[in-house]
Amino acid sequence: MRLERLFVFPILFCLGCKPPTPAEQMDSMLSWLATARMTGDGWLRHTTPDTYSRQTLELSSERIGQIASDLLKSPPSEVDTATLDTLFTRSRIRVKAMARLIAAKNAPDFGRQLDSLDADEKLVKQLADSIEHRQ
Amino acid sequence: MKKILQVTLGIVTSVGGFLEIGSVTTAAQAGAAFGYELLWAILLGTLCLIFLVEMSGRLSAVSKHTIVAAMRERFGFPFFFIVLVGMTLVAFLVLIAELGGIGFSLQLLTGIGFPWWAIPVSLLVWLLMWKGTFGLIENGASLLGLVTISFVVAAIKLHPDWSGVAAGLAPTMPQSDKAHYGFIAVSILGASISPYLMYFYSSGAIEDKWDESYVGVNRFIAGFGMTFGGFLSMAVLIVAALALQPRGIQVDTFDQSALSMTTALPRWGFYLFAISMLFACFGAALEISLAIAYFFAQGFGWNWSEDLEPSKDARFAFVYTIIILIAAVPLVFGIDPLKVTIMSMALTAATLPLAIIPFLFLMNDPVYMGKHRNGWIGNSVVAIIIVISFVLAVISIPLQIIGG
Amino acid sequence: MDLVRDVMDKKLVDRKECEMGRVDGLVMHVGPSSQPRVTHIVVGGTTPWMRLGAPFSRISARLARLWGPKRTEPVRIPWSRVKTVGKDIKLDVLARDTGAIDWEIWIAHHIIERIPGSGTEEEE
């Protein structure tokens, strides 16, 4: 019985994976934006090393892009799709730019991008709250 | 007094059990998602392990047999073989995750991707087993594992609300996301109550030549060792609860969990996290490889000991060589150790009854235990753990699908 | 003596305390007018796999023909060589002479000793 379960598991896992809800996707998006912000903060304060910070920002940008693309396939009705798309694209590009600024060791421009990312994150949070509120 | 120094066996067992990539990941996920609400799962896992590990040590000290040897003798070859297959499959997955964890830690420190580390890391683990003695592994891994105390330092520096922490030690139902909560709870229990810990500890007691005079100190070693590990695991949860949860950061990748220590320890936190994980996963990889090799050797009746040269216990050495070699392969191809970890935790939970049920019989068998058989407390605890393990076995896979 | 409890699956050690496997089976002589008695201990080969079922036994026989010391028959040790039956079963034999550690020797010579740092197997 136990051994059968070990073999059945991978099949069940593939068939039964529950797709995330829009609210969950927005939480994921916020998580990666916050990761980018915390990493960026850490780099400016020298609490995280260059290579790790750059790689984590690149990863965050990638994940933001992935979540955005999944979310926009079946967007929530409560929010304007074009707004979401613009906001997500802007964040993704911004985080990617921040990674390049680390490579260039350009702290002043990096700081400005970080502040803008903070504003982006707040906007996404407002949109996420409106989706959650109406569900 | 000298016996107390054997506490290193307890420490290395618990570091390898509580602070390996699975436990740290699930504790960090728990803290980031639910704050202190899942501390009770770590507490429960710790209590179960204290009893199970103490019994493993007592069995070996009194009967001079390991759990596996006693299981083969008492239950026969067919039962032994079923447990061998189940245990090896699950432990092998955990080994892949640990080797990946070492690679991840090196990636954090150097920026070089973890697949590149798969082969050098596996070679190093293998070399330590090939040339090292049990004492070297036991003492070395537990000494190095002490760097994980930095998690406790970080937790204290973040000034947690201790009344909230205390409240988290009692089970509660979450307001929302019940499936995810259940999944993490099961993963924490699956990550802590790992059968390979019992097999390793029981074999370690024989390697360290314990006898009946160690029964008393074994209680201390098991109790202290597992409590040490449990505390450290709770510290990881608390740090994530205070550093990541307020920011809304979920722990989906290892990179994210590395951020948790930077709030409390700005200058060194990142490096302490990476080094702690490096040593903890290393200890775990050694422990699991040994546990699998011990299982084969003891069950089939081969020569075995880490203190012997490989040519003198050739089949034992062959088993750990082969499993380490094969475990490196998926990592070279970039399989995500975190995904392997999560799957292995659920599977450990699913196969727990197989490991625990024989215990109830062995710990009451006068042939093996003599006058040191379990009392009513010990038997009640094992019975409760068996019930927990059945519940986990039934719900772990559906929860993985729904809440994972 | 309870054969299942006291003998089956017990560890075997030789004259020099070398571990030589476990009791995988027993051969008994059942005479027309005498009590059944154990004549041999059986170690290895397809014997333990037969306890799982015939398919396992066939697979193990096939694998044994392809690889290793190419020993397909299990090792039989006369019951008269049993010195004591306790936690382990002590035998008045040398492991090497019985064939019970053929696999150990084969793996040592063909694989383990080819890797540097393995130490050399001492002649027993």
Partner-chain residue, chosen from C21, C51, C105, that has the shortest CB–CB distance to B301: C21
pLDDT tens per residue across span A29-78: 999 999 999 999 999 999 999 999 999 999 999 999 999 999 988 888 87
pLDDT of residue A34: 97
Residues of chain C contacting residue B64, judged by C-beta atoms under 8 Å apart? 87
Q: Identify the chains in contact with B, defined as 3+ C-beta pairs within 8 A.
A: A, C
Does C107 contact B73 at a Cβ distance shorter than 8 Å?
no
Dihedral class, residue C70 (left if φ above 0, else alpha if ψ from -120 to 50, else beta) = left
pLDDT tens per residue across span B296-338: 999 999 989 989 999 899 999 999 999 999 999 999 999 999 8
Residues of chain C contacting residue B309, judged by C-beta atoms under 8 Å apart? 118-119
- Given a contact cutoff of 8 angstroms between Cβ atoms, the answer to whether B118 and B99 are in contact is yes
pLDDT at A14 over 50: no
Would you state the structure tokens that stand for residue B390, as one six-digit string?
Answer: 């059945």
Does C52 contact B65 at a Cβ distance shorter than 8 Å?
no
Does B73 contact C103 at a Cβ distance shorter than 8 Å?
no
A and C interact (at least 3 Cβ pairs within 8 A)? no
pLDDT of residue A5: 44
Partner-chain residue, chosen from C18, C21, C113, that has the shortest CB–CB distance to B311: C113
- Given a contact cutoff of 8 angstroms between Cβ atoms, the answer to whether B123 and B332 are in contact is no
Does C121 contact B63 at a Cβ distance shorter than 8 Å?
no
Partner-chain residue, chosen from A28, A48, A63, that has the shortest CB–CB distance to B262: A48
In chain C, the number of structural domains is 1
Does B262 contact A2 at a Cβ distance shorter than 8 Å?
no
Mark the ranges of chain B whose per-residue pLDDT is less than 50.
none
Query: Which is nearest to A64 in space by CA: A97, A42, A41?
Result: A97
Partner-chain residue, chosen from A2, A12, A27, that has the shortest CB–CB distance to B86: A2
Partner-chain residue, chosen from B111, B249, B354, that has the shortest CB–CB distance to A55: B111
Does B252 contact A37 at a Cβ distance shorter than 8 Å?
no
C59 touching chain B per CB within 8 A: no
pLDDT of residue B1: 62
B132 touching chain C per CB within 8 A: no
- Smallest Cα distance from A83 to chain B, Å: 22
pLDDT tens per residue across span C43-96: 988 889 989 998 998 888 888 888 888 777 889 999 999 999 988 999 999 988
Please provide the CATH number assigned to the domain covering A20-134.
1.20.120
Q: Identify the chains in contact with C, defined as 3+ C-beta pairs within 8 A.
A: B
- Which chain C residue shows the shortest CA-CA distance from B70? C10
- Which chain B residue shows the shortest CA-CA distance from C25? B77
Does B311 contact C8 at a Cβ distance shorter than 8 Å?
no
Cβ within 8 Å of residue B155, ≥6 positions away: B234, B235, B238, B239, B242, B264
Does B111 contact A17 at a Cβ distance shorter than 8 Å?
no
- Which chain B residue shows the shortest CA-CA distance from C122? B312
Cβ within 8 Å of residue C73, ≥6 positions away: C45
**Long-range contacts made by residues B53-56, C-beta under 8 angstroms, separation at least 24?**
B53/B10, B53/B13, B53/B197, B53/B198, B53/B201, B53/B222, B53/B225, B53/B226, B54/B218, B54/B219, B54/B222, B54/B223, B55/B359, B55/B363, B55/B374, B55/B378, B55/B382, B56/B198, B56/B199, B56/B201, B56/B202, B56/B205, B56/B222
Mutate which: B63, B64, B77, vs C, most C CBs within 10 A: B77
Partner-chain residue, chosen from A9, A28, A47, that has the shortest CB–CB distance to B266: A47
Would you state the structure tokens that stand for residue B39, as one six-digit string?
Answer: 């501390």
**Rounded to 10 degrees, what is the CA torsion of C84, C85, C86, C91?**
60
Mutate which: B60, B64, B302, B307, vs C, most C CBs within 10 A: B302
Residues of chain C contacting residue B300, judged by C-beta atoms under 8 Å apart? 21-22
ipTM: 0.91
Alpha-carbon distances, residue C91 vs A72, A85, B194, C40 (angstroms): 75, 79, 37, 12
Is C123 within the bounds of a domain? Answer: no
Enumerate the domain spans of chain B.
2-403
Partner-chain residue, chosen from B255, B351, B400, that has the shortest CB–CB distance to A56: B255
What confidence category does residue A12 fall into, taking pLDDT thresholds of 50, 70 and 90? Answer: very low
Rounded CA separation B250/A34 (Å): 9
- Which chain B residue shows the shortest CA-CA distance from A10? B343
pLDDT at C13 over 80: yes
Please provide the CATH number assigned to the domain covering B2-403.
1.20.1740.10
- Smallest Cα distance from B303 to chain C, Å: 6
pLDDT of residue B402: 74
Mutate which: B107, B183, B256, vs A, most A CBs within 10 A: B256
pLDDT at A113 over 90: yes
Could you tell me the residue range of the domain that residue C86 belongs to? Answer: 3-114
Mean pLDDT of C8-16: 93
Is C121 within the bounds of a domain? Answer: no
Does C120 contact B311 at a Cβ distance shorter than 8 Å?
yes
pLDDT at A10 over 60: no
Partner-chain residue, chosen from B249, B343, B350, that has the shortest CB–CB distance to A31: B249
Does B354 contact A51 at a Cβ distance shorter than 8 Å?
no
Residues of chain C contacting residue B365, judged by C-beta atoms under 8 Å apart? none
Is C57 within the bounds of a domain? Answer: yes
Mutate which: C5, C89, C118, vs B, most B CBs within 10 A: C118
C9 touching chain B per CB within 8 A: yes
Does B312 contact C51 at a Cβ distance shorter than 8 Å?
no
C and B interact (at least 3 Cβ pairs within 8 A)? yes
Enumerate the domain spans of chain A.
20-134
Partner-chain residue, chosen from C8, C19, C87, that has the shortest CB–CB distance to B301: C19
Partner-chain residue, chosen from B89, B252, B269, that has the shortest CB–CB distance to A6: B89
pLDDT of residue B24: 92
What confidence category does residue C121 fall into, taking pLDDT thresholds of 50, 70 and 90? Answer: low
- Given a contact cutoff of 8 angstroms between Cβ atoms, the answer to whether C58 and C85 are in contact is no
Vertex B244: Cα angle to B240 and B248 (nearest 5): 140
- Smallest Cα distance from C34 to chain B, Å: 29
- Given a contact cutoff of 8 angstroms between Cβ atoms, the answer to whether B180 and B33 are in contact is yes
Is C22 within the bounds of a domain? Answer: yes
A–B interface: beta-carbon pairs under 8 A: 83
